[in-house]
Structure 1
């Protein structure tokens, strides 16, 4: 085994170490600080709270790894969940309605990618505009009649049911995690995503269709945002005009906390999952400790900065070791 191989193995072994340390510290602190933290009910609620952000963040991680950004995912989440509920409310078969919601999210994502690659509009502006478009469409769907009373027992089971004592959304998030992990770490698609984010020009010269990769990652981001929206509508059994608001910020935060670079070329599916759980831990812990609302935002921001800083520090040490 040569030196380069040993260094690569060591680097991979230490990937995500920093964010894992933060997760353990928060877990231990809350376990000691609140007698209600380590209850089955609270841990279940904690995992449930993290699932929706986690699903969106997986897609955002792919986009960020190419050097792009997707600010539309929160609105896409709301719109696709709303369309699925609206179709079911008007008598559409549950599976057809779910398929329509997933397809809509995928098409919106692909459209974002095409605007960015074909019209040369910056990812920030393109997806920022789509944030407003998707939110406006959801408002049109709900302006005359709220989207409610559509959840059949089968549909509600997707987000409210249990299998083997574990909530269904957790199983769904685990399945998506495994698929995304395989795509990012074991396929040419994942390698191309990192190559495009690391050096787009070099990737293009090596024969990679950079535009195609970008369109596909935005389509994947839209698909995963749609899946989170459908699952959230199943959980709430209703769709409000503001459903999904700020999810884009939470998803980006989860990805960055987990070690994904905002400049492209680096991502971690495992890190994203841990990042989403950390965000849920912070929110859950502040609730249990009854922290004043005025301090919650400050504390959350500080913990995010510390988590990102520790992750960057351990990653740098791993590279130079």
Structure 2
């Protein structure tokens, strides 16, 4: 049962989402119309498939980032954790480990790294920015050590390749896996007590603590979830590339934050939406895909993404003021 505070938070989040959901949908529609007119190859089946595949890796990471931001934290380590977990999975398979065990090891490692982030943030009272920034370097350094003497390539069994290179009923498996992750995250965030507690902690940590919510436990679990989702994305990306490079996953933490913010997640905590995050990731993929089709320098992607983020944050502040 929700108490009156949680019900108030849920109603406020719902009303804000209605405004922001329209904004994300409008941006998507405008970009789709523009690219459909300017590029004759945009609406081809092959390009749409490539577009979806471009978005899924960032999208999965961004779901975890949304939980962290909604709680009032930040996780800058997810890009390096993605690379490290994908690297461990690939390294194990390259040395003859069963694919299922290798995947399980990568997932467990991601969850453990996230749990460690949560532990040092809550127990040692280190700020989330500094703790996860340090983990960014630690995980990246471990991946460099893992790949320094022996490149990780030609590792994938046919079953492992199928995860991100195969398709079912014409739909890429990576997209189907992402849909499953989306459904689970949507249910957990919007329909469970855990999701409501995440929002409550992000809205007012002290009030949540006084109301009986174990805020430190929530934080550790959220960072563990963020690490786990980063591992899922890393394993899928390893399956897609059938190799692991030392810089795999670089800047994914920034793309994940961008997708979450564009999708309506508050950088100040207390608000997020899984549907919006998915839309934000697709918008980022649309920008990159559109620039490729129009043969525009990819450096413009950074400028356009920055402008979209500023617009999204401005819209968030405006809608927040309207609902207060």
The answer to whether TM tops 0.5 is yes
Maintained 8 Å contact 1:18/1:311: no
Match of 2:201 in 1: 196
Equivalent in 44, 50, 58 of residue 39 of structure 1? 44
The answer to whether the 8 Å contact 1:258/1:311 transfers is: no
Per-residue CA deviations over 1:125-157 (Å, capped at 9, x if unaligned) read 000000000000001111100011110000000
Sort the Cα spacing of 1:117 and 1:41 in 2 relative to 1 into closer, same or farther, 3 A. same
CA–CA separation in structure 1 for the residues paired with 2:276 and 2:152: 35
For 1:32-71, list aligned pairs within 5 A.
32-71=37-76
Alignment match, 1:150: 155
Counterpart among 112, 115, 121 of residue 126 in structure 2? 121
Q: Secondary structure at the match of 1:120?
A: coil
Alignment of 1:214-233 (within 5 A): 214-233=219-238
The superposition leaves residues 69-95 of structure 1 with CA deviations (integer Å, 9 ceiling, x where unpaired) of 000000000000000000011111110
Task: Evaluate the alpha carbon distance shift between residue 255 and residue 95 of structure 1 in structure 2; reply closer, same or farther with a 3 A threshold.
Answer: same
Question: Any idea what SS the aligned residue of 1:16 has?
Answer: helix
Query: Which stretches in structure 1 are left out of the alignment for 5+ residues?
Result: none
Counterparts of 1:316 and 1:171, CA distance in 2: 38
Distance 1:271 1:296 in 2: 20
Contact 1:156 1:234 in 2 (8 A): yes
In structure 1, what is the Cα distance between the partners aligned to 2:308 and 2:266? 18
Could you list the per-position Cα deviations for residues 190-209 of structure 1 after superposition, in whole angstroms to 9, with x for gaps in the alignment?
00000000000000000000
How far has the Cα of 1:314 moved from its partner?
Answer: 4.8
Q: What is the CA-CA distance between 1:297 and the residue it aligns to?
A: 2.5
1:269 has 2:274 as partner: yes
Match of 1:73 in 2: 78
The CA deviation string for residues 256-292 of structure 1, in whole angstroms up to 9 with x for no partner, is 1000011100011011000000000000111111113
User: 1:294: how far off?
Assistant: 4.5
User: Aligned-pair distance for 1:109?
Assistant: 0.1
CA distance in 1, matches of 2:121, 2:164: 34
CA-to-aligned-CA distance 1:295-316 (integer Å, 9 cap, x gap): 3432332233234434554565
Aligned to 2:180: 175
TM-score where L is the length of structure 1: 0.94
> Cα 1:264–1:226, aligned 2, differ >3 Å: closer, same or farther?
same
1:289 maps onto 2:294 in alignment = yes
- 5+ residue gaps, structure 2: 1-7
| C-alpha RMSD of matched pairs (Å) | 1.7
Q: Show the counterpart of 1:137.
A: 142
- Alpha-carbon distance in structure 2 between the residues aligned to 1:193 and 1:187: 10
1:141-185 Cα shifts (integer Å, max 9, x gaps) = 111000111100000000000001100011011000000000001
Count of aligned positions: 315
Secondary structure of the structure 2 residue equivalent to 1:265: coil
